[in-house]
């Protein structure tokens, strides 16, 4: 595995340029599965109150929703609860939740939007489906940092400074 140099953790556009853009350009997307289709349908036709209720229930049952919500808050990325439900069910690990968080912030910047709703997520960001597991594994490895004795994480995505260009 090839590691990024530690100095990229101090550059404000590292996550955007070294992770998000390459993922956007080279990431393989796969069609939606049955659960994702059902979630989209429910989120699109349900009232805000019903979607909010479903999300609150999900938070009590699925720890990835808490990781996703925490990371979204930390970078001031606003989404509706339908987005959070769909992304949570699309993730299999904490790392995937973190990758999707930064990717969403990147696409929101690109689209010039302040808040992401389920319709925009489906029509403009993931019209062909979500990233394949193989793609997520590949890009997780690509964001690894050589800490060379420096304190801190070996994940570029854990460095707030490196995300400044896509933060609101």
From 10, 165, 154, select the one nearest 75 (Cα to Cα).
Answer: 165
From 55, 131, 121, 110, select the one nearest 88 (Cα to Cα).
Answer: 55
pLDDT value at position 168? 75
Rounded distance between C-alpha atoms, residue 40 and residue 46, angstroms: 10
| pLDDT, tens digit (0-9, with 9 covering 90-100), for 86-122 | 999 999 999 999 999 999 999 999 999 999 999 999 9
From 108, 55, 130, 49, select the one nearest 85 (Cα to Cα).
Answer: 55
- Domain residue spans of the chain: 4-166
Percent of the chain with pLDDT over 90: 90
pTM of the entire predicted model:
0.95
């Amino acid at each position: 595995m090839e590691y990024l140099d530690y100095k990229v953790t101090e550059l404000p556009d590292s996550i955007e340029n070294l992770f998000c853009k390459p993922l956007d350009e080279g990431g393989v997307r796969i069609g939606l599965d049955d659960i994702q289709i059902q979630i989209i349908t429910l989120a699109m036709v349900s009232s805000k109150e019903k979607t909010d209720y479903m999300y609150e229930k999900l938070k009590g049952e699925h720890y990835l929703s808490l990781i996703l919500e925490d990371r979204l808050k930390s970078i001031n990325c606003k989404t509706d609860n339908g987005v959070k439900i769909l992304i949570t069910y699309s993730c299999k690990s904490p790392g995937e939740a973190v990758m999707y968080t930064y990717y969403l912030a990147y696409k929101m910047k690109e689209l010039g939007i302040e808040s992401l709703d389920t319709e925009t997520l489906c029509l403009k960001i993931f019209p062909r489906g979500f990233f394949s597991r193989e793609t997520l594994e590949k890009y997780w490895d690509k964001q690894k940092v050589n800490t060379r004795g420096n304190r801190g994480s070996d994940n570029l995505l854990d460095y707030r400074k490196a995300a400044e260009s896509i933060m609101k």
